[in-house]
Amino acid sequence: MKISTKGRYGLMLLVDLAEQQSDQPISLKSIAERNNLSEHYLEQLIAPLRNGGFVRSIRGAYGGYVLARHPREIVIEDVLLALEGPITIVDEEIDDGLQVLWDRLREAIHDVLSSMTLQDLVELRQGSSQGYMYYI
């Protein structure tokens, strides 16, 4: 199983918005520059994030994006489902005698992703600047 750049960049976009913690909208250009990401690619991610209720857009000369909810209310599993679709371990259920293994792996991944919020990622990323491992 591999999370694509869609999921990784989408989480980075949301973490950046959460770190800014401002009522002022933030442009995708500034997010892209701060995180060394493609602005064009971020533009493709914003629609599913907006449709999922994670961000709101603000129009106008000083427009951009803000989080639609507090970072503690945004569950990582929900973000990845909006961006990636269902997360699977194997492409199909086959009778290979290992279904229990696949089920346990799927459950373990679900447990981690459903227990972490955007706020947790912000705190992990801020901790990385103090010598901790960077998790995104």
In the chain the domains, ranked by start, together with CATH numbers, are: 5-128 (1.10.10.10)
Q: What is the pLDDT of residues 5-27, one digit of tens each?
A: 999 999 999 999 999 877 789 99
pLDDT of residue 31: 96
* Average pLDDT over all residues of the chain: 89
Torsion of CA 23, 24, 28, 29, to 10 degrees: -150
Q: pLDDT over 70 for what percent of the chain?
A: 90
Residue 56 has pLDDT above 50, yes or no: yes
> What is the pTM for the complete model shown?
0.86
